[in-house]
Amino acid sequence: MLKEEKYQKLKEIIKIYLPEDVAVTDIKQDSHLMNNLNINSANLVDIVLDVEDAFDIRLENEDMDQMQTVNDAMVIIDAKLSEK
Amino acid sequence: MHRRVVITGLGVCAPNGVGLTDFTTALLEGKSGLRHQPNLEKLGFGCQVAGEPLVKDNLIDNYFTPLERRGLNATGIVYGVIAGVDAWKDAGLEKNTTDEPSWDRGIIFGTGILGVDKFREAIHLIDEGNVRRLGSTSVIQTMASGISAYLGGLLGCGNQVTTNSAACTTGTEGILMAYDRISQGKAEIMLTGSCSDSGPYVWGGFDAMRILPRGYNDNPTKASRPMSASAAGFIPGSGAGALVLESLESARKRGAYIYAEMLGGEINSGGQLGEGSMTAPNSVAVQRCIRNAVTNAGIEASDIDVINGHLTATTKDGLEIENWSKALERAYDDFPYINSFKGSVGHCLAAAGSIESVATVLQFKEQVVFKNVNCDDIHPEISKLISESCIPRETKNHSPKVIAKASFGFGDVNACVIFKSFSKE
């Protein structure tokens, strides 16, 4: 899977959790999910589940803790995919 | 402090109509919302008839964001949000778009059990050792107060936001709780109502108790027969009803349309003593509840010209009429008009009191007494006590002056509210 393809896939997942005052175009590689994109902390667990389904991987608790920015998520997804 | 309270908004999501327009038409015509349920047949239910609101998918989009719709699997929340938001709009109120909670506006929205389908989903995942896959919506959709929490967030209310639960009395009890709060000066506007999930996991327990009719699976619209000699048990329903209660002062200030004045009422319990039990009412308490409601409302029993009963279509209907008759000391031709909407909506359980109260209050606006269906053969126990002309079998043109509405529930709990027509004095 190409990097750009993965990024688009992740953006599609994140999109639905954005509050009304944040646009899809606000999603950047270095965006912090909670601080920049204002995603409700309760929804982070839903994003993790969606990522698991979309990439057919399993994220552990420590992965979740490390997933602060969009880029963090990309790194974790890459690592999990390479383990497969 | 004792302030006057009026009703300024109504909303409903019922088996025979979603939204006030469809619901009103259905009541005027006695259109049934009871249908054969293929899933109940598949599961081998004795009674395969039930009442379920027909909520179109694109209607849900008007009330929930795409994010809120993800994993939404709690019919009670869908029904309750539709009814609650509709009532709020009907009252001419807006969602709170400021940063300040509306401190003088609150919500009392009851339920019996919430999000059973969501809970089932969770149970399966947990039993498979997959608790991590529950996601974030399991708790908010299955906590009893999920419905008041959803509405509280949607409307930005800053007064009391809570959920009451008293079995089939829930909706009527909530109206009285909201009334008290406004009457005592603790709030200006209260959204009150109740909801009940649909589906086999809610209705199954009643089927198992063998209190639902089993002979009408091919003839669903005839299955629920309140006050009829051929009544064979109640038909379970689901949905939600909602009312906006408001201080007269606030309603006048806003120039709001006033459906009726709320005079208060009474809530009590028979203590499951005497003839009362977990499932049967203690008549002493029922009569006392009605009598005290009349006294608390500051009216005479003779002022009541219309009653909306609990009347579920079981063998207890005759006893209920006897209790009304004794409590009001009125019988035969002197008895008020009485109706039960359960013939067409079924028994919507925790939502019954609110859906039926919405219908009851609509009678002031429509200047009618809505018809009773499926009781051409009035039970002889009932016709012994009151004149058959008190039980309209066709919608009757009549401008109600004072309507008493009661609900009775498992746990031997009772509630009776008194509504009065409102004229601009």
pLDDT in tens, A11-58: 999 999 999 889 999 999 999 999 999 999 899 999 999 999 999 999
B160-199 pLDDT, tens digit each: 999 999 999 999 999 999 999 999 999 999 999 999 999 9
Percentage of chain B modeled with pLDDT above 90: 98
* pLDDT the model gives residue B425: 57
To the question of pTM greater than 0.90 for the whole model, the response is: yes
Residue B259 lies in a domain: no
DSSP-assigned states of every residue in A3-57: HHHHHHHHHHHHHTT--TT--GGG--TT-BTTTTT---GGGHHHHHHHHHHHHT-
Tell me the sheet residues that pair with B413.
Answer: B269, B409
- Is B425 among the domain residues? no
Task: Give chain A's domain count.
Answer: 1
The CATH number for A55's domain is 1.10.1200.10
Q: State whether B137 and A46 contact (CB < 8 Å).
A: yes
Best of A45, A51, A52, A61 to substitute, by most chain B Cβ atoms within 10 angstroms, is A45
Sort B329 into a burial class: Cβ within 10 Å, 0-12 / 13-18 / 19+. Answer: exposed
Domain co-membership, B169 together with B224: yes
What is the pLDDT averaged over residues B206-213?
A: 96
pLDDT value of residue B411: 97
Greater model confidence, A3 or B239: B239
Three-state secondary structure call for residue A69: strand
Q: Kindly state the tokens that stand for B100.
A: 């300040």
CA B120 to chain A, closest CA, distance in angstroms equals 19
Query: Which of B254, B285, B300 is at the close of a domain?
Result: B254
Whether residues B202 and B273 share a domain: the answer is no
pLDDT for position A64: 86
Q: Could you tell me if B392 and B356 lie in one domain?
A: yes
Q: Do B107 and B202 have their domain in common?
A: yes
Q: Which residue has the tokens 């977990």?
A: B278
Residue A84 — pLDDT band, cuts 50, 70, 90? Answer: confident
Check: CB of residue B278 under 8 Å from CB of residue B409: no
Q: How far apart are CA B218 and CA B154, in angstroms?
A: 41
More confident residue, B420 or A3: B420
Contacting residues of B for A46, CB less than 8 Å apart: 70-71, 135-137
**Final residue before a domain boundary, out of B254, B275, B293:** B254
Q: Look at residue B424 in the predicted model and tell me its pLDDT.
A: 65
Domain span at residue B226 reads 5-254
Q: Residue B321: what pLDDT?
A: 98
Amino acid found at B327: A
- Mean pLDDT value across chain A: 92
- Tell me, yes or no, whether B290 and B396 share the same domain: yes
Same domain, B28 and B127: yes
φ, ψ of residue B122 in degrees (nearest 5) = -65, -45
> Rounded mean pLDDT of chain B?
97
B286 torsion bin: left (phi>0), alpha (psi -120 to 50), beta (else): alpha
Which amino acid, residue B274?
G
Stretch B332-359: mean pLDDT, rounded?
A: 98
| Bigger pLDDT: B390 vs A1 | B390
d(CA B55, CA B85): 15
Question: What ipTM describes this predicted complex?
Answer: 0.86
Q: Nearest residue of B to residue A40 by CA position?
A: B136
Across residues B253-265, what is the average pLDDT? 98
Neighbouring C-beta atoms of residue A21, cutoff 10 Å: 7
Residues B22 and B121 in one domain: yes
* Domain extent for A34: 3-83
Region for residue B351 given its phi and psi (left: phi exceeds 0; alpha: psi -120 to 50; beta: otherwise): alpha
Q: What is the reported pLDDT for A47?
A: 94
* Overall number of domains in chain B: 2
Domain containing residue B344: CATH number: 3.40.47.10
Could you give the CA distance from residue B71 to residue A45 in angstroms, rounded to a whole number? Answer: 13
Write down which residue in B254, B289, B323 finishes a domain.
Answer: B254
Q: Does the pLDDT value for residue B240 go beyond 70?
A: yes
Residues B244 and B291 in one domain: no
**What DSSP character marks residue A66?**
H
Same domain for B270 and B231: no
Mean pLDDT of B322-339: 98
For the cut 90, the answer to whether the pLDDT of residue B33 exceeds it is: yes
Q: Is the pLDDT of residue B1 over 80?
A: no
Q: Is A46 on the interface with B (CB under 8 A)?
A: yes
The pLDDT-based confidence of A2 (bands split at 50, 70, 90) is confident
Mutate to test the interface with B, among A13, A17, A21, A49 (most CBs of B within 10 A): A49
pLDDT greater than 60 at residue B286: yes
pLDDT of residue B96: 96
B141 CB within 8 Å of a chain A CB: no
* Shortest alpha-carbon distance between residue B132 and chain A (Å): 9
The answer to whether residue A49 neighbours chain B at the CB level (below 8 Å) is yes
Give the C-alpha distances (Å, rounded to integers) separating B329 from B7, B287, B291, B316, B325: 29, 10, 10, 20, 6
Instruction: Judge residue B360's burial from the number of C-beta atoms within 10 Å of its C-beta, 0-12 exposed, 13-18 middle, 19 or more buried.
Output: buried
**B291 and B229 part of one domain:** no
Question: B121 to each of A31, B79, B80, B112, B389, how far by Cα in Å?
Answer: 33, 20, 21, 19, 50
Identify the pLDDT of residue B44. 98
